[in-house]
A and B are shown apart, each in its own frame.
Chain A
């Protein structure tokens, strides 16, 4: 690790650890920023590095959210009674029950989506290009509609997640707890993804993006790698979903869990905004997007979706390579690339 790298990582670490004390009013906002970063990072495994533009990764987010709270509740109380008649009955978790349930909930929130990804991956990752994009779009929306029809998890009424146990400190402690959990998750996600990009896996999925047929001809089992990539995404997305559900406190099928029209779109947009196919791009994209959104968006009162639509159009038409990609074009030497000017101009003329 270079010296500069260490400085950057430690600065982010210091910011992440001290933020709740520096900006106590913004704890939830920054926690959501970390969750958004996870969404963008995991989307980029498919969309950026592998060339499989998925519109349906929100599926794993939603599954994780429902699995997490179902486990939290189901371990101690009958789930069907918890959700009956719109959640009229209330059961209280004791402190130990709460944390025990939450731990198991998060574990399952990671594992179940990963299993789902492995199961459907073989069928769906065989599709290419826009067929894959539209197919995943269909899965994401269908999942929300189906969840909205299942009585056990509250159907269209949604379900409430267990409230923070009374008697161990109030809302401050709660938001701090979730803040650090989100920060921890985003750090783990980042370093796991960074690690796997440095191995053979990273090279293979790049090869799939650049030319899948050739990669196959070289004797690589591309399907295996594609599924592994999806499973990794699903695992972290599921945990992010479990965290998000608990932070919000209320789960609704199409607007919060399988929120294709918000988080589903945001994750694609953030990765592209920052620069898809790079490690830091999604992180930067998420930060810029979230700041923009919370800083200005909220005051648009109704115009924000016009702005979002226009933003998408402008980004894909004029900056399809994103912020990092733009800098990479402009200052390639900063990215450790050596540019032969003669060769470069020759190539430009060719294209």
Chain B
């Protein structure tokens, strides 16, 4: 326990700003999670690995001499196809079965991709330099790396674009129809197979964006995916499926919570704090529902 943060309020400003910028990024990943969960009824444990893979694409561009910020354009395109082919090879076989099977299958994908990334990119911790500089506030006492601001803005742009796409385009409407009632959509002539493939591809593309942003703001290595999966799962169960403003809000809430946990509990308990928060929220919701003799579905 360390209460320095309460003695120096400026640290609180710093922590909140960091948390908000981080939370927007989490929310982007969580939105992909909510999408596939809502449409395909799948929990994707490999979500974090897709994020890291997207990050490596940006890093790869960086080593080739292209500014890594362009990763936010290239990475989602490549990741869309990776997601699409993952769907065609594996996910389509688990999509309408018991959810536990999809959890285990995506868990297998997660282990497999971790190790493949280890072979392709090495287990080295890598960073991509954006050289965006830093913004100083309040007489140098609060520093915001421009890379983080950039990443938050890009996340917002992509989220808004996706919402519009879901509302306006034909495919977007088909996706929404499938998530509301898969059978009815099928009867009305929606090719659900195609919708599923597109949904998984879009999810992977969102992960790709988030990953390339992580490459320029934090560090990458093949084994750091799981916390991103858990965070997005948590955001989705707090916010509920298909409720984008709530996803954004709870994402930011989680980001701020983590930063404050860092200061108060110490960085070593950060992951534990995230996972315990998940448990607490689930158990709280379970008790609330069980009064009405219902349970989380």
- A residues in contact (CB < 8 Å) with B: 53, 123-124, 126-131, 133-135, 137-139, 141-142, 145-146, 148-149, 156, 265, 268, 272, 302-303, 305-306, 308-313, 316-317, 320
Contacts and interface: CB of A to CB of B under 8 A. Distances in A.
13 contacts: A124-B282, A128-B296, A145-B275, A148-B268, A272-B104, A305-B115, A308-B111, A309-B109, A316-B105, A317-B94, A317-B101, A317-B105, A320-B98
B100 interface: yes
B269 A138 contact: no
B276 A142 contact: yes
A6 to B, nearest CB: 36
A141 B98 CA distance: 24
Interface string B271-286: 1100110110011001
Q: Which of A133, A268, A302, A312 has the most CB of B within 10 A?
A: A312
B277 to A, nearest CB: 9
B17 interface: no
Contacts of B112: 305-306, 308-310, 313
B90 interface: yes
Nearest to A130: B99
Contacts of A308: 108, 111-112
Contacts of B275: 138-139, 141-142, 145
B290 interface: yes
B110 A309 contact: yes
A130 B100 contact: yes
Contacts of B98: 320
A316 B101 contact: yes
Interface in B250-297: 266, 268-269, 271-272, 275-276, 278-279, 282-283, 286-287, 290, 295-297
A326 B105 CA distance: 19
Contacts of A139: 275, 279
A138 B279 contact: yes
B68 to A, nearest CB: 28
Nearest to A313: B108
The 5 closest A-B pairs by CB, nearest first: A309-B112, A312-B108, A145-B272, A309-B111, A142-B275
Contact of B296 (A131, A138, A146): A131
A282 to B, nearest CB: 16
B43 interface: yes
A134 B43 contact: yes
Interface of B: 43, 90, 93-94, 97-101, 103-105, 107-116, 119, 226, 230, 233, 237, 266, 268-269, 271-272, 275-276, 278-279, 282-283, 286-287, 290, 295-297
A311 to B, nearest CB: 7
Contact of A130 (B43, B107, B226): B43
Contacts of A127: 282-283, 286, 295-296
Given A306-B115, A309-B115, A317-B93, A130 B266 contact: no
Nearest to B281: A135
Contacts of B93: 317
Given A316-B104, A317-B93, A141 B271 contact: yes
Contacts of B94: 316-317
A311 B279 CA distance: 30
A138 B99 contact: no
Nearest to A156: B268
Given A126-B286, A320-B101, 19 more contacts: A123-B283, A123-B286, A126-B283, A129-B99, A131-B296, A133-B103, A146-B269, A149-B266, A149-B268, A149-B269, A265-B111, A272-B104, A305-B115, A308-B108, A309-B113, A310-B108, A312-B105, A317-B90, A317-B105
B272 A135 contact: no
Which secondary structure characterizes the binding site on chain A?
Answer: helix
B105 to A, nearest CB: 5
Contact of A128 (B90, B114, B116, B295): B295
Nearest to A145: B272
A76 B276 CA distance: 34
A135 B278 contact: yes
Contacts of A146: 269, 272
B109 to A, nearest CB: 7
Contacts of A145: 268-269, 271-272, 275
Nearest to A147: B272
Contacts of B119: 302
Q: Which of A130, A156, A305 has the most CB of B within 10 A?
A: A130
Q: Which of A129, A138, A265 has the most CB of B within 10 A?
A: A138
Contacts of B107: 265, 312
A138 B278 contact: yes
Contacts of B226: 141
Q: Which of B93, B269, B282 has the most CB of A within 10 A?
A: B282
Contacts of B272: 141-142, 145-146, 149
Contacts of B296: 127-129, 131
A137 B275 CA distance: 9
Nearest to A126: B286
B297 to A, nearest CB: 8
A185 B93 CA distance: 39
Contacts of A130: 43, 99-100, 103
A333 B275 CA distance: 47
A268 B287 contact: no
A205 B242 CA distance: 35
Contacts of A156: 268
Contacts of A126: 283, 286-287, 290, 295
A137 B278 CA distance: 10
Nearest to B290: A126
Nearest to A311: B108
